[in-house]
Amino acid sequence: MEVKLLTYTQHPQRVIYAAAKQCYSKKDAAAIFESSQRESEAAISTFVKGIMARGHMSPLEHVSFTFAVNGISRACSHQLVRHRIASYSQQSQRYVDMESFEYVIPPLIAADAGLKQKYIEAIEAIRKSYTQMKNVLQAHKDLDREAINQDLRFILPNAATTKIVVTMNCRELLHFFSERLCARAQWEIRAMAEEMCRCVQKVLPEIFSEAGAKCVSYEYCPEGDKGCGRYPGR
C-alpha cells in the first residue's frame, strides 16, 4: 500500500480563519483573508484551534486534501467509497487489462504457510482462467478490448489491487478517521487511514493532531462490549 498526499487547499489555516470570521463580521471573507496576511501564524493557529474547541465545524469544509492511494484491494476500496462526502477516481477494470493483476494477502492467511499456499493457488487459478477466456474472446473479431474486459472482470477477486484518487474536506476526514481508525475497523482500511492521518497532521496539526477513533472524542466506546477496552462502553 502506498498513500501520497497530492495536493491540498492553499493557505488552509487562513481559509478556515476567513470562513469562520465572516460568520461574525460585516466584512466579506475575501477581505478577511487578505487582512489575515498581517496576522502572525501563531495567532491564526490559535484561532483555528479555538473554533475546533467550540465545535464550529462548517469552516473546515472549505479546505480539502487529495490523496493518491495505490495497492489497496478492491475489498478495501469498496469500503472507502461508502464515505459519500468525497470525490473518487478509480482505476477501471473495464479499460485496463487485468491479466497481470497484483493482489493483497490478508495477514491471517499470510501467517499460515499452508493457507498462504492455497490462497496463492486460488488466485493463480483465477488468473489462468482470465487469460484462457480472454484468448477465446479475442478470437471473435467483432469484440473489442473494452467489451472483453468488462465481462472478464466478473471473475476477478476482491484481493485484486487498485489505484484510486481520493479528495475529502477536513470535516469529512475527521469523520473518516473517527470510523476507520477504530480498533474494530477492518485492518486494511485502518492502515490506509493511519497513513492519510499522518499526511494531514503535518499540514494542519490544529485540526488533526488529536484525530482518532470515535472514542477519542466521546471518551466512551460506542461499540459497547465489542470495544477494544481503551474506553468503557455505556
Cα–Cα distance measured from residue 73 to residue 127, given in angstroms and rounded to the nearest whole number: 16
Which grid coordinates are listed for 38? 498581517
The answer to whether 186 and 79 are in contact (CB under 8 A) is yes
The b-or-e profile of 135-153 (16+ CB within 10 A means b, else e) is eeeeeeeeeeeeebbeebb
Exposure on the CB side of residue 48, measured as CA atoms within 13 A: 27
Active-site residue, from 127, 145, 180, 230? 180
Exposure on the CB side of residue 95, measured as CA atoms within 13 A: 3
Question: Is 180 known to be catalytic?
Answer: yes
- Based on its alpha-carbon atoms, the radius of gyration of the chain, rounded to whole angstroms, reads 23
> How many CB atoms are closer than 10 A to CB 72?
22
CA 202 to chain centre: 17
Q: How does DSSP classify residue 225?
A: G
> Catalytic site residues?
180
